[in-house]
Amino acid sequence: METAEGIVAGGADEKGGRRRTRRIKYAFEYSALRALAGLLHILPIDFSSWVMGAIWRLVAPHLRRHERALRHLAAAYPEKSRAEIETIARAMWMQLGRTFAEALISERIMRAGRIDDRTGTQLDTLKISGKGSVFVSMHTGNWELVIYPTLVRGIKAAGVYQRMKNPKVDDYIMLARRDRYARGLFAKGNDIARKLMRIVREGGSVALLADLRDRRGVVVPFFGRPAPTTPFPALLARSNDAVLLAARCVRTRGVHFYIETERIEVPHTADRDADIAEATRRIHVLFERWIREHPEQWMWAHRRWG
């Protein structure tokens, strides 16, 4: 009969083995990422982007997430044939593969003059006003570059990111992005709302991606179906009388983009919650219009509707 001490010792050995395996896995992932980043910094920008996109386009259609993307596209475009839907989905994987590679060389792209800033005078007017602002964007084009127009104008923004399981990879990615967010780049957590609220209240800017599912959010129509959606950008703007600006990055050809913004009017009535829900709805009406212009550039494979 196995003793209690033996059971405890066996459990400790098993946990220790899992920890060692995890450390080895994390070290391998980090080394692979650094090697890939080093290679992409040596290769020409256009080739780096194209080859990664081609790999994703070849591999991703054989994964389960491809079927999810096809279902979402079919629901959003019931008038399109299966072949048309498949074409959009494969182009989406090419786009996402390109974006993955470009995320590791974003600084090269920004220095190379490949971004057409079409924000006009909106950001200049915002900077002069001294008002707090909330920039809200979505996973389209190369969303890592959508912060570019604020950098050009010296608008100091805060950003939010999802922490990765691998701490070495997380540190590397965070450090690569950090300089774009002068007011701080914060991992999602329990205290993030308070930090961002203070920044906007003090006249600062916050940049957020807001097109993913939020099970605890408000439900808004999106491509004709109810979608649980974060109300946080609208809440930030409504609570602080801040400017709410939607921004998008659109790929025009290869590694060339344009970025534009459009102001979202936030209602101010006696019903604060209704105002926030309405502003959130307006954001997604615009998002849907933008996505319909370039459906292959949006990330259809995530669980947006549930």
- Give the separation between CA 77 and CA 71, rounded to whole angstroms: 10
- Give the separation between CA 206 and CA 186, rounded to whole angstroms: 11
Residue-level length of the chain = 306
Average pLDDT over residues 11-17: 66
∠ CA 260-262-263, nearest 5°, is: 145
Strand partners, 279: none
- Give the separation between CA 57 and CA 130, rounded to whole angstroms: 45
105: nearest Cα among 160, 182, 60, 41: 41
Question: What is the per-residue pLDDT across 128-182, written as a single tens digit (0 to 9) for each?
Answer: 998 999 999 999 999 999 999 999 999 999 999 888 899 999 999 988 888 899 9
pLDDT of residue 282 exceeding 70, the answer is yes
Instruction: Say which DSSP state 31 is in.
Output: H
Cβ atoms 233, 196 nearer than 8 A: no
Average pLDDT over residues 96-102: 97
Which pLDDT score, from 0 to 100, does residue 16 have?
A: 72
Instruction: Please give the single-letter amino acid code of residue 150.
Output: T
Question: What is the per-residue pLDDT across 177-199, written as a single tens digit (0 to 9) for each?
Answer: 888 999 999 988 878 999 999 99
| Token pair for 213 | 């599912």
| Token pair for 13 | 């050995």
107: nearest Cα among 24, 176, 5: 176
Strands (E) in 142-255, as ranges, are 157-161, 185-187, 205-209, 213-222, 225-229, 243-253
- Give the separation between CA 175 and CA 164, rounded to whole angstroms: 13
- Give the separation between CA 148 and CA 110, rounded to whole angstroms: 8
Question: What is the per-residue pLDDT across 40-83, written as a single tens digit (0 to 9) for each?
Answer: 999 999 999 999 999 999 999 999 999 999 999 999 999 999 99
Side-by-side strand order, sheet with 185-187: 115-117, 256-264, 243-253, 133-137, 205-209, 157-161, 185-187
pLDDT of residue 14 exceeding 80, the answer is no
197: nearest Cα among 160, 243, 237, 137: 237
- Cα 287 to chain centroid distance, Å, stands at 13
**Mean pLDDT estimate for the chain:** 93
Which pLDDT score, from 0 to 100, does residue 162 have?
A: 87
Q: Are strands 225-229 and 157-161 parallel, antiparallel or unpaired?
A: unpaired
279: nearest Cα among 218, 199, 200: 218
